[in-house]
């Protein structure tokens, strides 16, 4: 079986047993990656179980191109029923762990059960064993990482949870190495509920390629194409890349009560941090885009920061000290928390402090700091307090929706979430396509339906849209950020192309989702040469639709309701920044756009 490793590794932590099954039985219908994740979860009956129960399988799935020479072939899709939303939970991760899992001989990892005591799952090719993690339980991510490297060798790769996952923080993530995290939807908490501190893998196998020469030629061509593209060039200076978007009002701050703009120092401050502390660029396995900046802050040591300057922590929390954003990002990673959700939670706290419902001094004492601690110290301390469920951290660890339930009715209007998942910092009022993406995407997230045409504008975005939709009547409106017209087509295409990437095990950042040139036909060409069976771009889009439909069916089984304007009420009102004002989203138009999107998907 070319390209695939050929086996699924099943692990039951309750009885500490492992066994394998062939991947081939799923390939025809699901191909791999995210598609197979959904199939395996549905087969296991995950949609009716407690997310923290032994029956909720934690699945890690690579795709057929993961670990091959294909560009950006580093991805793994982590999935389980989410403790944050109660729906299909998923997060995608790159780095070096996913290819290593395939070289060890496994396409997917299905983990069920709950261990008696904290364990590490160690996979060395065919040898699968369990080791005690009692000594590591409670340690932060990098301390655990270093201990695992010392124990299992420099060439081993690991997926680790921090105190956040151990203590079932509903937005805890899983961390791999110095750079990568699978953080959204609480996958780290699912791993923590299984008392699984880490998965260590070392693989020495090989992935067969049906037509090595043509595969290599296609990979080289694709890399040359990527090296000419704007995303490749922009990666050297992400703050500069984000500046036009910031000018548009892309970044909200203060828990969606304000907008960042030119001159407020946050983007400029991030650029300065990059200029002063960046020591180099690094890439995930096989990736020509090298989106990671290695930042060496004196307080943290070298740490990898992916893609953007993590300003959302600043933005959401309304703290304009740029180093705070970086320090809090590192604190989130060390504690094993999702930095997006944590930024949102901090914004929720900031707003409550400003409203007089919470007091920073009381919070400081509550989490064991001095009353005189600075604001930044309290917020940084709060990140650890959330992960360790200390004081008010215990309430905040439940996420903003549940925290508002506990704290009182006045907190509800401050809870910026969809279906229980905290919204990310991009401002939906600045782009209607983004509003639809937040409302209609599977996990209340904007990444799968990124409104790239609107962001790139009529000239560049328009050319790309004409190429994709082959209809000038569509290409015009989809670059207009103030209308919902035809945005359901963008959502449909972008979700599908993202899903194709997630199924194949390559990074969606090389696709149009990021304004990059690799489309479904090029991906199909690579798959054809790798597998030795003909695939077309439309075949791949069909797999993507099947996968998205399966996710939707799962969400309905989990209790998701009929479409409606489901964003926080605040977003239907206007917002003012120092440089501009944005009108609120029209809920009726949003609902109509969601309905049009559902119609294309043929959902009832």
- Residues engaged in binding another protein (CB under 8 A): 67-69, 95-96, 99, 103, 145-146, 149-150, 154-155, 177-179, 204-209, 212, 215-216, 219-220, 223-224, 226-227, 279-288, 290, 294, 302-304
Q: How far is the CB of 213 from another protein (least distance, A)?
A: 9
Q: How far is the CB of 160 from another protein (least distance, A)?
A: 13
In the bound state with another protein, the residue whose beta carbon lies nearer, of 94 and 188, is 94
Q: How far is the CB of 161 from another protein (least distance, A)?
A: 18
In the bound state with another protein, the residue whose beta carbon lies nearer, of 96 and 388, is 96
Kind plus residue range of the DSSP H or E element containing 93: strand 88-93
Point out which residues pair with 172 in neighbouring strands. Answer: 337
In the bound state with another protein, the residue whose beta carbon lies nearer, of 147 and 465, is 147
C-alpha–C-alpha distance, residues 197 and 172, integer Å: 13
In the bound state with another protein, the residue whose beta carbon lies nearer, of 214 and 390, is 214
In the bound state with another protein, the residue whose beta carbon lies nearer, of 286 and 420, is 286
In the bound state with another protein, the residue whose beta carbon lies nearer, of 214 and 580, is 214
β-pair type (278-282, 174-176):
unpaired
Q: How far is the CB of 202 from another protein (least distance, A)?
A: 10
Contacts of 386 (CB under 8 A, 6+ apart): 164, 169, 335, 337, 342, 345, 393, 396, 397
On whether the CB atoms of residues 400 and 344 are closer than 8 A, the answer is yes
On whether the CB atoms of residues 443 and 421 are closer than 8 A, the answer is yes
Residues 593, 596, 601, 604: what is their CA dihedral angle, to the nearest 10 degrees? 110
In the bound state with another protein, the residue whose beta carbon lies nearer, of 212 and 244, is 212
In the bound state with another protein, the residue whose beta carbon lies nearer, of 216 and 354, is 216
Q: How far is the CB of 448 from another protein (least distance, A)?
A: 25
Point out which residues pair with 199 in neighbouring strands. Answer: 121, 159
**SS3 per residue for 341-353:** HHHHHHHHHHHHH
On whether the CB atoms of residues 136 and 118 are closer than 8 A, the answer is yes
- Give the 3-state secondary structure of residue 199: strand
Q: How far is the CB of 117 from another protein (least distance, A)?
A: 27
Q: How far is the CB of 205 from another protein (least distance, A)?
A: 7
β-pair type (575-577, 417-418):
unpaired
Q: How far is the CB of 550 from another protein (least distance, A)?
A: 29
DSSP state of 139: -
C-alpha–C-alpha distance, residues 125 and 482, integer Å: 53
Q: What residue spans of 71-138 are helical by DSSP H?
A: 97-103
């Amino acid at each position: 079986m070319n390209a695939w490793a050929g086996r699924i590794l099943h692990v039951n932590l309750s009885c500490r047993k492992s066994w394998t099954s062939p991947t081939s039985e799923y390939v025809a219908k699901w191909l791999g990656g995210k598609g197979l994740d959904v199939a395996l979860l549905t087969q296991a009956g995950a949609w009716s179980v407690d997310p923290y129960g032994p029956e909720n399988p934690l699945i890690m799935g690579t795709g057929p191109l993961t670990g091959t020479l294909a560009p950006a072939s580093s991805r793994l899709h982590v999935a389980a029923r989410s403790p944050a939303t109660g729906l299909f939970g998923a997060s995608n991760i790159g780095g070096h762990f996913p290819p290593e899992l395939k070289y060890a001989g496994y396409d997917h990892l299905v983990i069920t059960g709950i261990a008696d005591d904290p364990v590490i799952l160690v996979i060395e090719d065919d040898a699968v064993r369990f080791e005690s993690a009692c000594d590591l339980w409670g340690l932060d991510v990098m301390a655990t990482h270093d201990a695992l490297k010392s124990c299992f060798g420099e060439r081993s790769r690991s997926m680790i949870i921090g105190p956040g996952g151990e203590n079932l923080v509903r937005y805890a993530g899983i961390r791999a190495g110095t750079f990568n995290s699978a953080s959204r939807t609480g996958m780290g908490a699912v791993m923590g509920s299984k008392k699984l501190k880490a998965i260590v893998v070392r693989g020495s196998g090989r992935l067969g390629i049906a037509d090595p020469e043509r595969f290599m030629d296609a990979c080289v061509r694709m890399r040359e194409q990527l090296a000419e593209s704007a995303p490749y060039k922009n990666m050297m200076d992400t703050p500069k890349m984000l500046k036009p978007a910031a000018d548009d009002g892309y970044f909200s701050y203060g828990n969606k009560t304000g907008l960042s703009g030119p001159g407020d120092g946050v983007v400029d401050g991030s650029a300065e941090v990059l200029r002063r502390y960046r020591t180099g660029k690094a890439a995930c396995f096989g990736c020509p885009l090298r989106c990671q900046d290695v930042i060496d802050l004196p307080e943290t040591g070298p740490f990898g920061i992916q893609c953007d300057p993590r300003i959302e922590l600043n933005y959401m929390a309304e703290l304009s000290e740029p180093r705070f954003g970086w320090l809090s990002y590192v604190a989130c990673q060390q504690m094993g928390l999702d930095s997006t959700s944590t930024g949102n939670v901090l914004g929720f706290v900031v707003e409550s402090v400003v409203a007089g419902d919470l007091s920073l001094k009381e919070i400081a004492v509550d989490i064991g700091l001095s009353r005189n601690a600075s604001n930044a110290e309290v917020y940084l301390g709060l990140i650890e307090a959330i992960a360790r469920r200390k004081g008010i951290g215990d309430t905040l660890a439940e996420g903003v929706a549940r925290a508002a339930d506990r704290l009182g009715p006045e907190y509800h209007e401050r809870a910026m979430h969809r279906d229980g998942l905290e919204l990310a910092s991009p401002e939906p009022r600045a782009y209607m396509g983004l509003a639809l993406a937040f409302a209609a995407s599977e996990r209340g997230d904007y990444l799968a339906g990124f409104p790239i045409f609107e962001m790139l504008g009529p000239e560049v975005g328009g050319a790309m849209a004409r190429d994709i939709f082959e209809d000038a009547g569509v290409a015009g409106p989809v670059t207009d950020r103030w209308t919902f017209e035809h945005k359901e087509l963008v959502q449909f295409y972008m979700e599908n192309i993202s899903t194709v990437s997630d199924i194949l095990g390559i990074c969606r950042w090389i696709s149009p989702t990021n304004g990059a040139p690799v489309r479904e036909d090029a991906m199909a060409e690579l798959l054809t040469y790798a597998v030795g069976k003909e695939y077309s771009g439309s075949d791949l889009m069909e797999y993507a639709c099947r996968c998205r439909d399966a996710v939707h069916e799962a969400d309905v089984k989990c209790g998701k309701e009929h479409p409606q304007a489901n964003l926080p009420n605040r977003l239907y009102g206007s917002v003012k920044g120092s440089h501009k004002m944005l009108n609120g989203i029209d809920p009726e138009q949003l609902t109509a756009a969601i309905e049009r999107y559902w119609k294309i998907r043929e959902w009832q």
